[in-house]
Amino acid sequence: MSTPGNLSRRERQIMDILYQRGKASASEVREGMEAAPGYSAVRAMLRVLEEKGHVKHQAEGLKYVFVPVVARDKAKRSAVKHVMETFFNGSAEQIVAALLDVSSTRLTRGELDRMSEMIEQAKKEGK
């Protein structure tokens, strides 16, 4: 499978839609796209994503639906790792600091407490 960096903007947009919905037909993907290209273009992009190993299709009645090949949790971890390496020199500390800076006015006390608990648990587990 290719890496997230090998996807075009439209391909990433399609993958986002598939991860949000779990599965979707080409017309459903097109409906979820902003300034969507034509149906044929969406089908072509889905075919390319399938060739790259990102999606697979299955028949549901008379239509094909497309599903991501990589589980959402694994894709999430891979995307975070990619962002951390690309923008934060591989530093988890820097990425957390950036998240706290951007989100400081939106994070609730409960969210901060849960994050603190996760950090304490990681310390106990020796991570």
Would you mind telling me the total number of residues written for the chain in this entry?
A: 127
Residue ranges making up the domain that contains 17 = 4-68
Alpha-carbon gap, residue 51 to 44, rounded angstroms: 11
| Overall number of domains in the chain | 2
For the domain that residue 23 is a member of, what is the CATH number?
1.10.10.10
Specify whether 58 is located in the same domain as 101: no
- Same domain for 93 and 63: no
Which residues are CB-neighbours of 23 under 8 A, at least 6 positions away?
58, 65, 66, 67
Same domain, 51 and 20: yes
Per-residue pLDDT tens, the chain, 127 aa: give them: 444 557 888 998 999 999 999 999 999 999 999 999 999 999 999 999 999 999 999 999 999 999 999 888 888 888 888 889 999 999 988 988 888 887 666 788 898 899 899 999 989 988 6
What residue spans of the chain are helical by DSSP H? 9-21, 26-32, 39-51, 72-87, 92-103, 109-124
Q: Is residue 48 part of a domain?
A: yes
Q: What is the pTM of this model?
A: 0.65
Domain annotation covers residue 23 = yes
